[in-house]
Amino acid sequence: TLSNSRTSIHRSRPLMVHGFHFPVLLPFAPCPSPKPSRTPNLSWATESNGVWTGTRFEAPAHAAPDFVFPVRPINTLSSLVVERFCIRRRFVPAISPLKTMMIYTDGACASNGLASARAGFAFVFNLSPAGNNSGAVEQKGPGGQVHPHTSNRAELRAVIAALSFRGWWGEGWTRVVIVTDSEYVSEGATIRMRNWARRGWRTSAGSPAANRDLWEALSDILGGYARSGCEISFWRVPRKWNTLADAAAKAATELEGSGEYTNTLGILV
């Protein structure tokens, strides 16, 4: 194990790099081989009032995520075969471009609203054990301040973890669809965050917007994806369609959490 005060690199499979500042990417490419990344398009990568927001995914009527995005192997330039939730070809291009993948996300909080609350988060990008990632919500946020655990914070933390796990555009994707059963996340990441920022991070009622630290962290991530030509969209679904991430997030509430905020970066998965 190689380590310093900010990261640790474990020689295991899958190889994980802990810490946000050292992204490691392999040259993945969904079949067919990717064209050059799109340039940011303000119709889907909106920077307004100092924040970046995503878009809503307009799904086919009554279609569940596992039907729209079946899991399938993708080609890689290094001859490594990996699986992703890829858009079904019958929905291309009417619903989304060919190079669109999906990630399930969810958060959970035991004893929500109490001082003893324990929150966990999870994201799932394929059906293998390595594709199911979860963790306990940290005591501290990105800015180092301590925050109480809540279900909303856990839901938001899951999205940040999913998009920070790697720069998915490095695999050639031009759109990543985040599946969530949280209205707080889906509305906040597409509309409300801009309104909060315009009011000086206050709600329409004049109260401070909760979880500002995580919303600002998500905004920075969305901006990075936009500049890399990758659209981030949010698809709110019923909880019954999000069982994989839901189960993992609930289990994560039992994990021993870290005090310090950190993101896990993965390769070879």
Pairing of strands 82-86, 2-3: unpaired
The whole-angstrom separation of Cα 17 and Cα 21 is 10
- pLDDT tens-digit map of 78-117: 677 899 999 999 999 999 999 999 999 999 999 999 999 9
Amino acid at 37: S
- pLDDT tens-digit map of 76-85: 666 778 999 9
The whole-angstrom separation of Cα 229 and Cα 19 is 24
CA proximity to 229, closest of 29, 45, 33, 32: 45
pTM, two decimal places = 0.84
The pLDDT of residue 6 is above 60:
no
User: What is residue 48's predicted lDDT score, i.e. its pLDDT?
Assistant: 73
CA 220 to chain CA centroid, Å, is 13
The whole-angstrom separation of Cα 249 and Cα 108 is 6
CA proximity to 108, closest of 236, 255, 241: 255
Q: Is 19 helix (H, G, I), strand (E, B) or coil?
A: coil
The pLDDT of residue 185 is above 70:
yes
Determine which helix (DSSP H) or strand (DSSP E) holds 54, and give its type and residue range. none
- Identify the bridge partners of residue 74 per DSSP, sorted by sequence position: 82
